[in-house]
A and B are shown apart, each in its own frame.
Chain A
């Protein structure tokens, strides 16, 4: 009897938490599959009688396609460049003498801690001067700076875990340090690199503040497009939810691939879960 009561005391609150966690997601999908005349009623319709995919078509027709493509292009390009710069930097910080390495690493991290609003005003002016406002390249350049500190910290953590002997053995065999990095170390931390890539993709995809200031039409990302759904056209919940669902699915799929290193990813590698 007591054991039964004990398990109720565990499972009941857990069930409530799970429902609270999932309901908003359910509501987004539910709203995206109803006509707006069924969305804008009281009491709300929890289980729709008929489902429609019309919102998904109309959201693409009303200009939702290009922002989705922009988000894909900008996320991929910025992540690729970020990793390319971050790998040698992370290796160097993991191998440099700690007096230099730790301070440099802390400085690099502090770049990520800055409030974006402080850097976005000058970045807006710079991109304007260079004619890069509302271009893919402009946002890619900014996102690389946004993700670099994170990528360097993650990769440095993974590299620091490799025993030095492994590298020394390769050096004795006549490898150059760069060759040892490329042929011996990087294959060992493949999982770490993939994790870092996925987190960078997610961060770029979800980013809104820089995107809304630095892009307008040409290069606007999907988060900016979603933000336009308020104010301008009244309550178009079906479409807004459809676009939100389209923007959420890829991130949730990616997140499934990093479950093992999620603690690290969310704490910049400061906590090793």
Chain B
């Protein structure tokens, strides 16, 4: 029993720190969601408005729904590409390869580059007048595209940058998972005459599933917070074509100074993330 108390004392500083810097702020901003507070108009004070902020967001605020749609688009498109390419490259690398360990180091570089730098680099590459991307599309297909200003294309531009940054993560964990798969069932299946596709579909993939779900959990939560790369790449534009809900909450709070309304937006976002991540965690625990 004394040991338990002792352990609790050791963990206490950490718990108190997190309580005061995340839980307390969250409770405070939950309170804010019931007020109308405009920092730019201090004369109006901070009237209590009940559920009005939530009502306005859900019923009247088209911009909220557009940004949520953008977020979900980036989420699904990026995830699909990252998992397909990441697992594919991991399968390629899961064998004796000359210089394999160096190749692995090289392929992981994007994970460490500051996201704001990633936004800066891709903005230069996608620049419509001087960018490399338009040079390539010009010599290959004879066309130049408006990568950053055409509302239909710009969404893909954002996905390209995210896929460049995060595919290495899927690759990394998949490769680690592949290398820990026991060889015996694979060999048995091969002797029994299973094709490569069948082996992958019915043996490799199910064995890989536990780590892939963890990757999915981490990626989903990160994609809901998508912010840094877009900041420099498009700043949410043109218009709100690439604005995520995180960016919208940011603009509402720090450009329009409507703190109550912004808090309500971020709370709805928080709620959605919690809902989805709980579902994924259930999938992990059921195993």
List residues of chain A with CB under 8 Å of any chain B CB.
Answer: 10, 13-14, 17-18, 20-25, 27-28, 31, 39-44, 85-86, 88-89, 91-93, 95-97, 100, 104, 108, 111, 113-119, 121-126, 141-142, 144-145, 148-149, 152, 177, 202, 205-206, 208-209, 212-213, 222-223, 226-227, 229-231, 237, 240-241, 244, 247-248, 251-252, 254-256, 259, 262-263, 266-268, 270-271, 273
Q: Chain B contacts of A270 at CB under 8 A?
A: 214
Q: Chain A contacts of B262 at CB under 8 A?
A: 121
Q: Are A115 and B225 in contact (CB under 8 A)?
A: yes
Binding site of B, secondary structure by majority: helix, strand, loop or mixed?
helix
Q: Chain B contacts of A10 at CB under 8 A?
A: 92, 95, 97
B275 within 8 A of A: no
Q: Are A123 and B21 in contact (CB under 8 A)?
A: yes
Instruction: Known A-B contacts: A28-B117, A148-B18. Give 10 more (CB < 8 A).
Output: A18-B106, A89-B14, A111-B22, A125-B259, A152-B14, A205-B114, A208-B228, A226-B114, A230-B232, A267-B218
Please, which residue of chain A has its CB at the minimum distance from the CB of B135?
Answer: A43
Q: Are A244 and B117 in contact (CB under 8 A)?
A: yes
How near does chain A come to B45, taking the closest CB pair, in angstroms? Answer: 16
Q: Are B97 and A96 in contact (CB under 8 A)?
A: no
Q: Are B17 and A27 in contact (CB under 8 A)?
A: no
C-alpha spacing A38/B168, complex, angstroms: 32
User: Given that A21-B106, A227-B231 are contacting pairs, would A92 and B7 also be in contact in the complex, using a CB cutoff of 8 Å?
Assistant: yes
C-alpha spacing A145/B103, complex, angstroms: 35
Q: Chain A contacts of B121 at CB under 8 A?
A: 24-25, 27-28, 241, 244
C-alpha spacing A17/B254, complex, angstroms: 39
List residues of chain B with CB under 8 Å of any chain A CB.
Answer: 3-4, 6-11, 13-15, 17-18, 21-26, 28-29, 32, 85, 88-89, 92-93, 95, 97, 103-118, 120-125, 129-132, 134-135, 164, 168-169, 172-173, 176-177, 211, 214-215, 218, 221, 224-225, 227-228, 231-232, 235, 246, 249-250, 253-254, 259, 262-263, 266-267, 269-270, 273, 277
Q: Which of A41, A44, A177, A237 has a CB less than 8 Å from the CB of B6? A: A177
Q: Chain A contacts of B269 at CB under 8 A?
A: 115, 117-118
Residue pairs across A and B with Cβ atoms less than 8 A apart, 8 shown, are: A25-B109, A93-B11, A100-B4, A114-B270, A209-B227, A241-B121, A244-B117, A244-B121
